[in-house]
Amino acid sequence: MVTKLTGQLRREITIQGRAYIVSLDDEGLRLTVKGRRRGQALRWDDFANGNAALATALNASLAQANDRPRNTGRTRRGPDTSRIVKTPRTKTAAKKSRA
């Protein structure tokens, strides 16, 4: 006897050294890079109908996504310490700064 898939089933797999999450639910399956929100989805209707064009497009988009470098538009830099000017907090320094 087979159990019906009513909720979401999630499992982690490793493909070419990279961790992925496979999610199965009653609408279809989704393959997502671990730590990301978006992934590749395939609906059960499309899979059952034997839509070969969709499978080809899915494989091409997966290959393209793995080859493309990640560019978030942001650069990671440390704090710019050249702009930070530390002044001594003494009474004479305060008098000099007021003048």
Looking at the predicted structure, is the pLDDT value of residue 5 above 90? no
Residue spans of the domains in the chain: they are 9-67
Ramachandran region, residue 55 (left: φ > 0; alpha: ψ -120 to 50; beta: rest): alpha
**Higher local confidence (pLDDT), 76 or 89:** 89
What would the pLDDT profile of 20-51 be if each residue is shown by its tens digit? 999 999 888 889 999 888 888 888 887 777 76
